[in-house]
Structure 1
Amino acid sequence: MSIGTVKRSVAGLLLIAALSGCGQASDARPSVSAEDREQAESLYRANCIACHGAELQGIVGPDLRRAGSELSAAQIVGRIEKGGGGMPAFRTRLTEDEIQVLADWLAGHK
Structure 2
Amino acid sequence: MKKKLLTLLLGTSLVMGLAACGGDKDNTKDKGNGGTETASAGQKIYDQKCSGCHGGDLKGGMGPDLSKVGSTLSKDEILDTIKNGKGQMPQNVVQGDDAEKVADWLSNKK
Fold-level similarity (TM above 0.5): yes
1:103 corresponds in structure 2 to 103
Which ranges in structure 2 are unaligned for 5 or more consecutive residues? 1-33
1:38 maps to 40
Partner of 1:56: 58
Could you list the per-position Cα deviations for residues 12-67 of structure 1 after superposition, in whole angstroms to 9, with x for gaps in the alignment?
xxxxxxxxxxxxxxxxxxxx862112211110011100100010000010000000
Where does the alignment leave 5 or more consecutive residues of structure 1 unmatched?
A: 1-31
Q: CA RMSD in A?
A: 1.5
Structure 2 CA distance for partners of 1:94 and 1:52, relative to 1, 3 Å: closer
Question: How many angstroms apart in 2 are the aligned matches of 1:61 and 1:104?
Answer: 19
TM normalised by structure 2 equals 0.65
Alignment equivalent of 1:80, drawn from 64, 79, 82: 82
Look up the SS of the partner of 1:59 in the other structure: coil
Distance in 2 between the 1:60 and 1:104 partners? 22
| Percent of matched pairs sharing the same residue | 36
Deviations 1:72-92 (A, max 9, x none): 0000000000112000111xx
Deviation for aligned residue 1:95: 3.4
**Aligned with residue 67 of structure 1, among 66, 69, 72:** 69
Q: C-alpha distance in 2, partners of 1:72/1:41?
A: 17
Aligned length: 77
Aligned-partner residue type, residue 39 of structure 1: A
Please report how far the alpha carbon of residue 68 of structure 1 lies from its aligned counterpart in structure 2 after TM superposition.
Answer: 0.5
Runs of 4+ in 1 over 4 A off after TM superposition: none
